[in-house]
Amino acid sequence: MEEAYEFIRRIKEGGVLPMFTSCCPGWINLVEKTYPRLMPHLSTCKSPQGMMGTLIKTFFAKKLGVDPEQIVNVSIMPCVAKKDEIARPQLTTEVFNPDGSPKRIPDTDYVLTTREIGHLIERERVSTLSLFHSTPPPPSPSIFRNGRLTHSTLDSFCVPTRFGL
Distance CA 18, CA 16 (A): 6
Q: Is the pLDDT of residue 165 over 60?
A: no
Q: Give the domain extent around 53.
A: 2-138
Beta bridge partners of 113: 77
Task: Give percent of the chain with pLDDT exceeding 70.
Answer: 78
Distance CA 12, CA 9 (A): 5
Residue 143 lies in a domain: no
138 — pLDDT class (breaks 50, 70, 90): low
So what's the pLDDT on residue 117?
87
The string of pLDDT tens digits covering residues 84-101 is 999 999 999 999 998 999
- Indicate the DSSP class of residue 116: H
Residue 100 lies in a domain: yes
Distance CA 51, CA 82 (A): 13
3-state SS, residue 100: coil
Distance CA 160, CA 165 (A): 6
So what's the pLDDT on residue 136?
58
Residue 90 lies in a domain: yes
Q: Is the pLDDT of residue 152 over 80?
A: no
Q: How many domains does the chain have?
A: 1
Residue 144 lies in a domain: no
